[in-house]
Amino acid sequence: MSQRNQELFERAQLRIPAGVNSPVRAFRAVGGAPPFMERASGANVWDAEGRRYIDYLGSWGPMVAGHTHPAVVEAVQAAAAKALSFGAPTESEIVLAEAICRLVPSIERVRLVSSGTEATMTAIRLARGFTGRSLIVKFEGCYHGHADSLLVKAGSGALTFGNPSSAGVPPQTAAHTLVLDFNDTAQVEKTFAARGGEIAGVIVEPVAGNMNLVLPKPGFLEALRVQCTKHGAVLILDEVMTGFRVALGGAQARFGIRPDLTTLGKVIGGGLPVGAVGGRRDIMEKIAPLGPVYQAGTLSGNPVAVAAGLATLKLVEAPGFQDRIEATTKALVEGLAAEAKKAGVVFSAQSIGSMFGVYFRATPPTSFPEVMQCDKDRFNRFFHAMLERGVYLAPSAYEAGFVSAAHGAAEIDETLKAAAEAFRLA
């Protein structure tokens, strides 16, 4: 039997910290060595040993149309044949900006960047520059990239300052971030009553996807909008993950919330590195060179990445695309719940759009503490049993999953067959 994946992992660790270029890829949350991927097509990926997996990771979200979609590949090849990068304006950047503003009406102006982290970092800076205030509110369990001010965990109470959750983040930086409980409307109202005049902005994943999938309770997002409006703070919806996945216009369209700023990524790059921050014209015109809030990037608006994004958005906005992919995702989670019930396993699952969550818990969680009640060890066993049967899930009990338009009845049936066996082993 081939040991190619193990060999590559050992080789990688000689030159790359932990052998990976993003922490969760190391499989430390679930144990074992990760498969090293070589190619992908549609709903499938193949590793260095030639094993095929039905992929529910989707490169952590971007591959909404499926891997190597012919239209996206053709667009990338055509763009690359002209230039890999200019560091100068291109018409394609305008076309992508126009598409984003058309599909997400709250975005009146948009700045392209190269990653979701850049987008959220810029949004935070804009909120502070626009309001002249320092405090930022975020929610425990929501991840917004690895900028210093966002790598903060909760302190000893709702109104206390946060503490760094990563080495290298100075306490002075963390002191400007307040961490509240996701879905706790009363806590939000209490915090704004006490410190509303100091709060520059609130940043939130409208549907949390980085503590597994956690949906907003009715009224929670609405309360954020009300409090930000009342106290002059900037509401930032981090739609890097949800953008064009939970609805064509993002979570804000699905829930009827109009943010002041929105951050995007993943889908708008079609698998290549792209991010964006956009929103109200008066806020966006504070960004350099129009205003005093500085942001720049050598590869921002890269023509090859923009081409991939434009081709993907064209597919995503085709009639029926969102309905089909949402129905497929719903069939997956309902099937998984049914198989778990047959096996007598405590389990629940839910989905929204083409995102889904699986939990070894009787009911889907609504907060970070409830997420932590899930049976992590059982998930790990289930994960490896599924991997052995050719189904690739996110290698962590605390990450959402993704379905693509390339997933169909055959892939769902194969997945559920594998799950029937995996649940018995878990």
Residue that is written with structure tokens 């995102």 in the block: 355
**348-351 contacts at long range (C-beta below 8 A, 24 or more positions apart):** 350/213, 350/215, 351/213, 351/326
Which of 53, 238, 330, 398 is an active site residue?
238
Going from the C-alpha of 287 to that of each of 124, 130, 136, 261, the distances in angstroms are 12, 9, 18, 13
Report the run of H or E that residue 185 belongs to, with start and end.
Answer: helix 185-195
The DSSP line for 51-107 is -EEEESSGGGTT-TT-BT-HHHHHHHHHHHHH-S--SS--HHHHHHHHHHHHHSTT-
What number of other Cβ atoms are within 10 A of residue 375's Cβ? Answer: 17
Q: For residues 349 and 213, is the Cβ–Cβ distance under 8 A? A: no
The verdict on whether 375 is a catalytic residue reads no
Which of 143, 359, 392, 398 is an active site residue?
143
CA–CA gap between residue 422 and residue 380 (Å, rounded): 11
What number of other Cβ atoms are within 10 A of residue 296's Cβ? Answer: 9
Residue 111's nearest CA partner among 124, 96, 133 is: 96
The DSSP line for 214-237 is BPPPTTHHHHHHHHHHHHTPEEEE
- At residue 152, the 3 state secondary structure works out as strand
The verdict on whether 238 is a catalytic residue reads yes
* Distance separating the N- and C-terminal Cα atoms of the chain: 25
The verdict on whether 413 is a catalytic residue reads no
Residue that is written with structure tokens 């997420």 in the block: 371
Which of 138, 266, 330, 359 is an active site residue?
266
Structure tokens at 232: 């002059």
CA–CA gap between residue 173 and residue 151 (Å, rounded): 10
Structure tokens at 72: 């996206």
> Mind telling me the catalytic residues?
143, 238, 266
